[in-house]
Amino acid sequence: MPSDRVKKAAKAKGPAKAKAAPSKAKPEDEAAAQEGEDDGTENDGTPMMSANASAANLEVLANLSKKVEKELTVSDQGRSCTGVLACHPQSRDVHISSFTLLYYGHDLLVDADLELNFGRRYGLLGPNGCGKSTLLKALAARDVPIPAHIDIYLLDREIAASDDTALEAVMAVDEEKTRLEVEAEALAALEMTEEVEHRLNDVYERLEALDSDLVEVRAASILHGLGFTKEMQRKKTREFSGGWRMRIALARALFIDPTMLLLDEPTNHLDLEACVWLEEHLKKFKRILLMVSHSQDFLNGVCTNIVHMQKKKLVYYSGNYDSYVQTRAEQEENQMKKYKWEQEQISHMKVGGEWDGGLVLVSHDFRLIGQVANEIWEVGHGAVTKWQGDIQSYKAHLKATHEALGNRKDMR
C-alpha cells in the first residue's frame, strides 16, 4: 500500500517544498567571534592571517585549482565509451550492455555488461592500469546512458580550499536539495506504480535528512568518525592539508548519501580508527556502492559483490573478497582439469596420426586389446610412446609399477 505521504504527493501533484530555517548565531558565539577579532586570533587560539596574506593564499590556491581542472579536462578528453541502457528508465538498478571503454585509443572494456543493482555494495578489482579509475570517471560523467533520476557522486579528489569551515563544507547541499525537490515534483506527477512509490519514498527520506533540525549533528557525527575534533570542524578548509581535505570530501559524500556512490581508494588518507569507522558506516549503505580499494580487509567488511575487470570484460562474483578468492581458485582448478582432459584427447589424436591406415583402439580392456591389437602405444606425461612387447608384458609392467609405488608409501 502507498504510504500516506506518497498518497498526499500524488494527489497534490504540486512542487515539493523543502524547509528553510535560517540559522541564528547564539549570543555566546557572537561574543566569542568578536573576542577573536579583537585579539587577532581564531576562537581555537590559531593566529589569524592578515587580509592581504589570506587573499594572496586564496589566489594561489585558485590558480592551482584551475591548473588541476585543466589537466583533468585533458584527461577526460582522452576517454570515450559507448553502451546501451538495458534496464527500465525508471529502475533503480543500472544495467548497461555492449559497454566499450577506451582511453587514448586503448581498449579497456569491449562489449562488456555493466550490472549495478540497488542495495548492493561492489568492490572493483583488476590489475594496475586496467582502467578501474577510468571506469569510475566514465560513470560519474555519464558517458553512458544512466537514467537521470540516479544521482552519482564520485570521490576522487580533496575538497577545494576556501573560507568555509569543515562543517560548512560538508553541509553545503543546496544544489542537491534543489535537484531532489525537482525529482519529487516529477515523481508525484507520474502514475503511482510500485517502482515510482519506492523512488518517491527514497527522495522524501533524503530531503528530510538534508532538511532536518539535526542536520548539523549528523554532519558533525560523520566528521568526528573520520577523525575531526570539534575544534577542527570549525576551522576553514584552506587551513587543512590535502589529506584532511580529502577526508572532508569523503564526509560530504557520506552526508549527501547519493543513489550511486563511487569511491576511489577511500582509505588512502585514513588512520586505522577512521578506517574501522568508515567500514562500519558503509556496511549500512542501502543504495549502489562501487569502490576501488587495495585493502582486502576493507573489501571483506563492506562488499556484498565483487566486479573483476578481466580480459576487457566485467566478471561478477557474489560475496566479499574472500568468497571471490575461493570461487576463483575453484574455477582455476576446474579449468586445469579441463585442460588436462583436452591434452589427453590431443595425445590420442597424435597416436592416430602415426598410422597410415587401420584402426586405433583406446580401451582399458586388456583382453580385448590382446585379441585385436598389433601394436601397444602408451599415453602419459604429455607424450605418446610405443611399447616394445605384447599386452601381457605391458600388464606386468603396470603391476610392478603400482607395487613399487605402494612400497614407497609404506616406507613413508
Residue 96 has pLDDT above 70, yes or no: yes
Q: What contacts 34, CB < 8 A, 6 or more positions away? A: none
Residue 204 has pLDDT above 90, yes or no: no
For residues 305 and 121, is the Cβ–Cβ distance under 8 A?
Answer: yes
pLDDT classification of 17: cutoffs 50, 70, 90 = very low
Using CA atoms, how far apart are residues 142 and 152, in angstroms rounded to an integer?
Answer: 9
Residue 116 has pLDDT above 60, yes or no: yes
Q: What share of the chain is helix, strand, coil (3-state, %, to 5)?
A: 50, 20, 30
Q: How far is CA 361 from the centre of its chain?
A: 55
Using CA atoms, how far apart are residues 152 and 261, in angstroms rounded to an integer?
Answer: 6
Give whole-number Cα distances, 259 to 18, 68, 172, 373, 386, in Å: 19, 27, 18, 71, 68
Using CA atoms, how far apart are residues 39 and 33, in angstroms rounded to an integer?
Answer: 10
Q: At what angle do helices 4-12 and 194-211 cross, to 10 degrees?
A: 100
- What does the chain come to in residues? 412
* Stated pTM of the model: 0.64
Q: How does DSSP assign 177-209, residue by residue?
A: HHHHHHHHHHHHTS---HHHHHHHHHHHHHHHH
Would you state the pLDDT for residue 189? 82
How is residue 304 written as a grid cell? 556484498
Which one is predicted more confidently, 11 or 83? 83
Sorted by where each starts, the structural domains of the chain and their CATH numbers stand as 118-330 (3.40.50.300), 366-410 (no CATH)
Using CA atoms, how far apart are residues 203 and 210, in angstroms rounded to an integer?
Answer: 11
Residue 112 has pLDDT above 80, yes or no: yes
Element (H, E) at 380: strand 376-380
Q: What contacts 82, CB < 8 A, 6 or more positions away? A: 98, 99, 100, 144
pLDDT per residue over 332-350, tens digit each? 898 888 888 777 767 666 6
Residue 102 has pLDDT above 80, yes or no: yes
SS (H, E, C) 243-277: HHHHHHHHHHHHHHCCCEEEEECCCCCCCHHHHHH
State mean pLDDT over 38-56: 46
User: Measuring CA to CA, which residue among 218, 75, 228 is closest to residue 156?
Assistant: 75
pLDDT per residue over 381-392, tens digit each? 667 787 888 878
